[in-house]
Structure 1
């Protein structure tokens, strides 16, 4: 039995059964079980504003997205229209996603190469990221139900965005990012960064098409769809389905039509190369999305109270994270406290028992037990690197 563990939030256990001999082995069966602490239960009994404030503290990753999804769910339940804050709030979650991708590029990706991590090199990125919230909401209250006092400082925001762009170009791409499969191959061959070195490994003939997850991309973004699913089935969070089937969420879902991803898919097919190209495309597109959002920002005040004819009810909030789509559903009682709360996270989709990870492993070919463990590590890193992963291999 071989076991490996990755740092992060929650955990996933993978059990593999191999068949074969000296010429190679096939993963006959792959069992995947995700275990995520159901911290959402701690929100029950809280008032709406307290729940939104507590959510980022309950989850060690994607705190802004967690807080935003809960705030949006509370707003829906209370009948509050905080649409004037949408662009600013999405900017906050995009910045958080860029920070998460940056961590992966300098900590997780070197680990997959057997190289030392470089967390100190994240300081400049995180300094720029930390400047965004106060440049939007001087009181740092943008994630409260109804929104905060939005007073965008466009100059400070653009300066922070410029610093992020300089960091990305230097630390991840060592120049302009690749735009198609040919440029990706040349960029990888130069090996100017850990990201390029990992690309060279993942583009190798034995790995580029390995771990093809198949199946549909999630696609659904509507809070109404997630509300119906979460409210109608308490088990949905642990075994989510879209149109009756498991689905993939994350960078590939967002960037499936990006020119780089399309070109890599045409050349290398589904598998590790495609998943990695999607992460690179996300790194390229996030600053562009942020720049567009900054251009639309206008001052806005909090929405202080619900309409007089509304009563506490239930609602759902959806937010994007680097790892994929997150949804929180909640129901308020007559006193405005959470009577029930449920969530579905990217881990629940990508590491479902019959989800993308399980599909990518079943039937895949490996050289031996150690090779199987390392390939699982790579596929987990491309799908959701923020969970601990225990791997057991049986012959």
Structure 2
């Protein structure tokens, strides 16, 4: 894999001794946030066909948010089984994205060898599931119909892989851990990329590193969704979004809850250990829910209601993804995408606050910064400069 030019550059100027203001942190992004303008003038069907090619990272989430955006704009509702299959496809993609970090990026940051064979099996299983969930590439199109045959074999295999290779037991057993003493025992008794990262953080006493607080992007009411859609018409807002004049984040920490996460936040704030536990909690939940999703592919469970959205929306691996579309006579007249990277890597947001709190030698500072960035997971290549050298990371893949 070729090294990519960094679209996200982060510069950390370490504080001088006795400086209570912390490190000076600057973030600059060259992400093409207005790339969706490419679809203006194209038909709805052509846009839905081309969009996953243009946005290859989290392409299922992008396709899902896109078709939901058009369904909102045209006042059409997909069948319940179609919505269910779309959600499974997005969840499996999110799981794959997290496993990419766990098996590839986490070992490399700790100086170990990436778990390429395991990751290759993850990709194989995802492709097999896609073939069942999205036959003839019609799942993310207007008037899509549910697949006739979806079996649970690949889902069981993917869950079994996560059970063994991430948690060394079952996802359910890991989710049952409720306090830090149980977590410590799990770390000592397990030898996986996940436990190795947690052990490294604990051994270096970096559990609280990057504790800069956080402001979660809230669940939006229908009225707030309309307000967000209006804000998305502004180029400046798409590039550097805020909500109620605040830089918010949309990460695994903002959408997962557990007794263990509560304990981590009480003891270590929103530092590295809490962030790692949040991602692992999401991985465990996604994997544990695979078979639950499968049971309802063809029917809607009693009592469950679909959320009402005013614009296209999907929860991708990196956070909430919004698509706002306008069309007339089957032609796109405006298209706006607001991705989670713009929230999470806002120049005045959570990364600036977190990296401003880091301490240690230049090498320690650089590694802590990389760990924090990987746990938020930008969807682009990035570089981190500490005035003592540059560290790079690649968050995209083939």
TM range (shorter): 0.7 to 0.9
Matched, 1:108 2:98: no
5 Å-filtered alignment, 1:81-92, equals 81-84=77-80, 85-92=82-89
SS for the counterpart of 1:217 is: coil
1:351: Cα distance to partner?
0.3
Equivalent in the alignment of 1:307: none
Bigger relative CO (Cα 8 Å, ≥ 6 apart): 1
1:149: Cα distance to partner?
2.2
1:339: Cα distance to partner?
1.3
- The 2-side partners of 1:77 and 1:238 are apart by 23
Q: Which of 343, 352, 363 is equivalent to 2:346?
A: 352
1:113: Cα distance to partner?
0.5
Equivalent in the alignment of 1:228: 227
Task: Tell me if the contact between 1:315 and 1:331 (Cα under 8 Å) persists in the aligned partners.
Answer: no
Equivalent in the alignment of 1:145: 142
5 Å-filtered alignment, 1:32-43, equals 32-38=27-33, 39-43=35-39
Flag the 1:260–1:52 CA change in 2: closer, same or farther, 3 A: farther
Flag the 1:126–1:58 CA change in 2: closer, same or farther, 3 A: same
Q: Which of 324, 332, 335 is equivalent to 1:329?
A: 324
Equivalent in the alignment of 2:117: 120
TM-score, structure 2 length as denominator? 0.85
1:254: Cα distance to partner?
1.2
Matched, 1:185 2:208: no
1:267: Cα distance to partner?
3.4
Give aligned pairs, total.
370
- The 2-side partners of 1:243 and 1:138 are apart by 42
Q: Which of 358, 379, 384 is equivalent to 2:377?
A: 384
Task: Tell me if the contact between 1:14 and 1:31 (Cα under 8 Å) persists in the aligned partners.
Answer: yes
Flag the 1:161–1:54 CA change in 2: closer, same or farther, 3 A: same
- The 2-side partners of 1:163 and 1:9 are apart by 36
Equivalent in the alignment of 2:296: 296
1:293: Cα distance to partner?
2.2
Deviation sequence 1:297-320 (CA, Å, 0-9, x none): 2279xxxxxxxxxxxxx9620001
Equivalent in the alignment of 2:259: 259
1:176: Cα distance to partner?
3.3
Equivalent in the alignment of 1:287: 287
1:370: Cα distance to partner?
2.2
- The 2-side partners of 1:25 and 1:383 are apart by 26
Higher mean C-alpha deviation, range 282-291 or range 128-137 = 128-137
- The 1-side partners of 2:201 and 2:341 are apart by 23
- The 1-side partners of 2:183 and 2:368 are apart by 21
User: Unpaired runs of 5+ in structure 2?
Assistant: 301-308, 389-398
SS for the counterpart of 2:250 is: coil
1:86: Cα distance to partner?
1.7
Task: Tell me if the contact between 1:223 and 1:318 (Cα under 8 Å) persists in the aligned partners.
Answer: no
Flag the 1:237–1:226 CA change in 2: closer, same or farther, 3 A: farther
Deviation sequence 1:51-83 (CA, Å, 0-9, x none): 112111111210000011111111111111115
Higher mean C-alpha deviation, range 276-285 or range 380-389 = 380-389
1:173: Cα distance to partner?
1.5
5 Å-filtered alignment, 1:312-323, equals 316-323=311-318
Equivalent in the alignment of 1:15: 11
TM-score, structure 1 length as denominator? 0.86
SS for the counterpart of 2:311 is: strand
User: Unpaired runs of 5+ in structure 1?
Assistant: 1-5, 301-313
1:371: Cα distance to partner?
2.0
